[in-house]
Chain A
């Protein structure tokens, strides 16, 4: 990629050029009647008298001025072009002065005369000529905001971590402050463990570190910690907050997303293997193009409103909201830019126009919520090929054992089953598909969803404009015709035909579509297997009503009940040795089949589906029913271009954006991520507004340090662990945390880092720490689907009831707790745990009585206090030894004399469980020191 980021000045782009060409043409055309309206004689005085006070050199209300041609053409904050030369009807200025826009009547203190309005109309119709003093049609924009400038690596008389200290100490010095001395080793290892792994250190780790007298003992400990899998498990939660990752849809139904978890594992693994950050970003936007599918879980990690009404405008607004979520999350997470502001009008503070917003929308316009089958890995493909060969071989060998009825040579397809049946056929153009039921396993046939695919996209969905009709519907609240193509599975979202003797259901597409596959089932949720269509045929018609068969049950094995979908073999009539061999083959065949099906079915991930989008339009005031000009896929104009055509292939759009975001000359991406890392180390970033690096955001407290870290990131192949290492090995990080009265008066919030600022652990770290000291934490249960904090009531609208009893399944690390939107864990949720409804770049940190009540009285904590007490009993018979052990596990240090005697006395009176209950509630236990 070429360097998109120009130093300071931006050149005009193709769009502006096109505009200038139009302008020239219109000028030529109108030159004949140029005498009719003279700008300086007829128009300028009107502007001077009525407009220029607010929209001129002194003031530019709504960022609009009438004395610059470029601004006349581009318009103000509304995003509407004020003047479109030659086209008065498209000129917003005219609408405003004609008082056709409610609440925006201009001038506000009285309407222009109709003569004046007519003059302006004529001037626009004539090509809107202005004198040279009004400047060119496109002006260069100065990008002088600090974060938009190229990275500038400062010259620092020290390398590596010492550079951090040098820059921090210089600022302290300027403010009359000194750094604190280094913290003691016990504090350091506890801090390191809590910050980097989210778990307290074991007493053994503490002892080993205390005894390590090698000069690089700390560096070794840092390296060990960074190579622990617990690092990814801790830091992934920061990332998942930031990208609003949830495992339910949110909104009123709040349905589960059982296929969403692989994205969580992908983030954890990416961090643990130190995937270069640029790759990490690229794969989240366009992983499907880069052989890393799961990453695009990012795009659809946000909430999704699946309740679609019949009002078409509502549907459009919902779709706009989905895309807005993707644009916003991409803008804030990677670039620290609040692009969402430009949905309804030009950004008020940053150089992001409304048109830029819709250019970004065009990048994501083909992304849809949903699961998709992953491209199988090379290994999986090899395994599948091997299994297929084995299945073919065994089937052949077993042929002679086949019971009479199925000795034919042709290989029939498996019998229908209640869960899911696939019909594949040559791609063909169809405008309507009909599924005709001839026979069922009993009663009227039920189908929970009829999916018709065009590649990866289910085109039968009502939400994509397809219409369902039928020969007749069974009347029942759970079973409705609209359920056949509502995208939802299960008995409660199914359709039943009205007649036991069969009938049909058909799907008519919004427009003729190429289809190649149909998938249907009785109950994808595997609870019901009755009412199965066993004999059926499927046909399609093109626009002219020519029907052709697509698939039928004729080439399937006959349906013989729920269990039997493999042929029957008969061994008894064969000699014993042959029969034994046959049975062994059959056994092996079954294993191979089940191996194959698990390889094939495990690969659905909620990572979005993609389709080629239609045109994207700029929407006036963000209203879906007020489209303006079409906008092609692109990034923010002043920062560069993706150089794509308006109809560029879907995937290429995302890939181009990903390339642009991670281009080495883009200064925002590295600055934003090193700032986030800094924030999670020290509690506050160098920039205090981590997702807003624009004009409205905060300035960096240490701009040179930010740039130094950002350039280190790029120089070290975008390694996040490198940045961690630099920070962790600095004195700044290893300082004491103790307050210093003099420093408190100057810098109470410790923005200058005269000490390491201590803070309360977040919800995950508290819960995981409790499980660690009680010896309950399931170290063996990392990865995979999460565990639930709720009993789920399976209504159309899901209800989540907090669990009342906990067992080992619940004792995994909290990052594996299924993230239910809108609901929070009943004990730890109140510790400022976000619910994934919104992106959260930094959690709030509050202290409330409800937190105290939860830690003191909840069944969860009491159970763990009990287990902790039992652990102490197991370890030792002596009270003082038990106290010492408890202190080491909880605080990483031995108790003082006073603490020991107080504790022993307390245990004597109230017992061990009350003692452990108190420790789990203590300030020291929940503090990052």
Chain B
């Protein structure tokens, strides 16, 4: 019996053992040897065991901080003196420009002042002052471009490389390829915002057509992993006895199927589950964190409880990275408890009012997380990626005090393993509207992240329904200038 994993093994066996069955023209697509798919060798009994990279990696783990709702580059990291100068004037060429919600009003500078930060003097807005102080450690990409100006497809695109639903997320690709360093914890964890899930919800961490084992496990400080606890009314002792009894049943049954990998894998999955039941609550329990740490993150803030909750998620993220979880996605912003800017970064109508609430929730906890990772030496092996689904307009919307969607130029930054810092790559035009210098696609962005993990985005493919699928479709190239 053969589990879904390990098509590679299947092919090689067929090729050596049964030459007469010419099964796999898949591998014979006249592809050059350096472009042929590299499929991970997955042991069915240990699907999450660490696996070989394609080339020596710069980073072992990834932490993605995702600001859901399209966080404005204009009000955070993309400083444009010309916008300040031309504040209140029409944007040249925008007379007939129709973006997602309609027509444009005037060019509008950010309500937050930009100031030089760190030794590099990088200009960052007062909306996120503490993050600004870390600018010397950041590698900015100011010229990202997307393919859609709708949130759901935009989040899909940033998380899965496709605007449509149903494709594997970056974390799924990564853990399918690489397994994890700590099999007692999920290989891939998605931490939704305390207010709920982002716009395209679980698609952001879905497995797509990869085996379901590689989907992100949803887990946050206020919402622990499901079905982890022993059922009510069952004592620990009884639970152990039941598992032992179950194991005996399964082992007797296995005697009839010697060498059956899938049945053996099922037995070991119960042992792994038991280990998780111990290690997961341990990671979730923040009581071992010092008061200083809680204060630094803002987790003790009794006035801004939302900030305190997000801060706890930030601490959880650090603990997961510390324990060797391969891929962590930390969300800031949700759609569930109020769309259009209420509980996310979608500031269409009242950006000043709304971002004044969101800024402090993000800034202190996130900055504390970054400092903490750095202090503990975790940035040596960990790549931190801050991103959002797309950018916003330098104009206000006609008749409103906020900015419409803009996929033509937006900012993300990276920090830690494998990237230059301080560094700024690419640029938008004089107003921050369109990427004009070193224009970068989301595909390039993904190719670069995979590259830092030791994976060649062109060769990390999975055959599905007639296609060799990739995270980067048929596009993308590594953004070499930002590599350390």
Contacts and interface: CB of A to CB of B under 8 A. Distances in A.
Interface of A: 174-175, 250-254, 303, 305, 307, 309-312, 314, 317, 321, 332, 337-338, 341, 349, 688-689, 691-692, 694-699, 701, 737-739, 741, 744-752, 757-760, 793, 795-797, 799, 802, 821-823, 826-827, 829-833, 835, 837-841, 843-854, 856-859, 862, 898-899, 902-903, 906, 909-910, 914-915, 917-919, 921-924, 926-927
Pick the 4 closest A-B CB pairs, nearest first.
Answer: A252-B152, A837-B166, A692-B466, A338-B466
Given A793-B336, A799-B196, A857-B227, A822 B47 contact: no
A902 B3 contact: no
B269 A697 contact: no
Interface stretch (B51-59, B200-208, B281-289, B444-452): B200-208
A846 to B, nearest CB: 4
Contact of B98 (A310, A848, A910): A310
A184 to B, nearest CB: 12
Contacts of A917: 242
A746 B17 contact: yes
Nearest to A348: B29
Contacts of A844: 4, 209-212
A699 B26 CA distance: 10
A849 B276 contact: yes
B465 A841 contact: yes
Interface string B261-284: 011011101101101110000000
A746 to B, nearest CB: 5
B150 interface: yes
B253 A857 contact: no
A829 B218 CA distance: 14
Contacts of A923: 249-250, 253-254, 263, 266-267
Contact of A853 (B25, B211, B228): B228
B264 to A, nearest CB: 9
Nearest to A922: B249
Interface stretch (B76-84, B229-237, B365-373): B229-237
A769 to B, nearest CB: 16
A395 B231 CA distance: 63
A63 to B, nearest CB: 12
A831 B213 CA distance: 9
Contacts of B167: 838
Given A251-B165, A844-B211, A849-B276, A857 B231 contact: yes
A interface secondary structure, majority: loop
B466 A849 contact: no
B179 to A, nearest CB: 12
Contact of B102 (A251, A303, A310, A688): A310
A97 B358 CA distance: 52
A744 B209 CA distance: 28
Contacts of A748: 2, 13, 17
B150 A309 contact: yes
A843 to B, nearest CB: 8
Contacts of B89: none
Given A837-B165, A845-B3, A921-B246, 10 more contacts: A175-B18, A252-B150, A252-B199, A252-B200, A338-B465, A689-B466, A795-B336, A827-B227, A917-B242, A922-B246
Nearest to B183: A849
B327 interface: no
Contact of A691 (B21, B241, B465): B465
A832 B248 CA distance: 26
A174 B20 contact: yes
B257 A738 contact: yes
Contact of A826 (B100, B226, B234): B226
B21 A699 contact: yes
B233 to A, nearest CB: 8
Contact of A918 (B1, B164, B246): B246
B257 A305 contact: no
Nearest to A921: B246
B38 to A, nearest CB: 18
Nearest to B268: A847
A759 B238 contact: no
B149 A849 contact: no
29 contacts: A251-B152, A303-B165, A305-B152, A309-B149, A311-B100, A314-B150, A349-B29, A692-B466, A696-B29, A696-B466, A699-B23, A746-B17, A749-B13, A793-B336, A795-B336, A797-B336, A799-B196, A822-B201, A822-B206, A838-B465, A844-B210, A848-B269, A849-B273, A856-B227, A857-B229, A902-B245, A906-B245, A922-B246, A923-B266
